[in-house]
Amino acid sequence: MPPESPGHRARPAVRAEADPGLFGPASVTWQVHGDPMMWIAGVRALYLQALHPVAVRGVMINSTFMDDAWGRLMRTANFVGTTTYGTKDAAEQAGARVRKIHRLLGVDDPGLLLWVHCAEIDSYLSVARRSGLPLTAAQADRYVDEHRQSARLVGLDPAQVPSSTGEMADYFASVHPLLEAGEDARKVDAFLRRPPVPPALVPARELVWRRVAAVAYVSLPPFAHALYGRPGPGPRAADRQLLAAGHVLRAIPSRLRWQLPPGHILKAVARLGPGSRPAPYKLRAQAAILGRAGEGAGR
């Protein structure tokens, strides 16, 4: 419908003078990271990251993940939210804090940082696409390329980071021989399936968390299922579960979801204007999801 048509509702403008941050409202990242399936994607990333024996050993020795898993997830979510929706200065400061922590803990090896980065970006992209966000191949490549910026923030040389889904697939193929589900990975697996919680929270864990962890696990690539020794349901069955989870989570109005702490999206909209709100995607038909070949570089 042309702009001058009576029924046209123009999208509000973004304030040109405001700081758009590292990515800005026109980026693929801005849209994808506003989707609630990112919580499931984050758990998938933890499962995937744990398969690198050196990386997971560093986590087990130097972090409080097993004692404060929720805090770890929230800190990661806060970092992703800040770097996606915050100002450029806020993103740079968040990156500096992460680099300092990595140096203090001795986990700033570029190879390990690259593994963590690729596992996260592949997880975000794979879960988003397979659960119904209609990203084209070009948009998927653009998303991977955009995140060379976030890789720079944690101390990586952007020139050494995959810039497309094809390069991401090549990276996973190159690192595959190094992966294994050793003792540390199995501890992470057991923890994610049944994290210890206070008695009052056991019903919530059984009702909500175990379902989130189960969907995250089935969304892993087949090689990860093989390493963990727990077969997945197959790509099409996994896609059905992801699609169903996407329908449930996206049924929660965004105006409610975005009020959850720490409210990065609402702060960005207040700074940039209503035109900066992540636009809801029109979901693809289920047949299109199930009939597509496997998506995701790590799959």
Distance CA 187, CA 18 (A): 45
Q: What angle do CA 3, 7, 9 make, to 5 degrees?
A: 60
Mean pLDDT within 178-195:
92
Q: What percent of the chain has pLDDT over 70?
A: 86
For residue 37, give Cα distances in angstroms to 129, 130, 258: 10, 10, 13
- Closest by CA to 224, choosing from 276, 278, 188, 260, is 188
The confidence band for 187, taking pLDDT boundaries of 50, 70 and 90, is: very high
* 185 within domain boundaries: yes
| The one-letter amino acid at 285 | A
User: What pLDDT sits at residue 11?
Assistant: 56
* 13 within domain boundaries: no
Mean pLDDT within 100-119:
89
The model's pTM is 0.86
> What tens digit of pLDDT does each residue of 247-291 get?
999 998 888 888 876 789 999 999 999 888 887 554 444 334 334
* 211 within domain boundaries: yes
* 273 within domain boundaries: yes
* 204 within domain boundaries: yes
For residue 71, give Cα distances in angstroms to 14, 68, 205, 243, 266: 33, 5, 16, 28, 22
Mean pLDDT within 227-239:
93
| The one-letter amino acid at 184 | D
User: What pLDDT sits at residue 65?
Assistant: 67
Range of the domain at 202: 28-291
Counted domains in the chain: 1
Q: Worst-scoring range by mean pLDDT, 15-19, 162-166, 258-262?
A: 258-262
What average pLDDT is seen over the chain?
85
Q: What burial class does residue 53 get, using C-beta atoms within 10 Å of its C-beta: 0-12 exposed, 13-18 middle, 19+ buried?
A: middle
* 176 within domain boundaries: yes
- The conformation of residue 237, written as its DSSP 8-state character, comes to H
> What tens digit of pLDDT does each residue of 46-88 get?
999 999 999 998 878 876 667 776 677 788 889 999 999 999 9
* 8 within domain boundaries: no
Distance CA 152, CA 80 (A): 13
Mean pLDDT within 99-103:
87
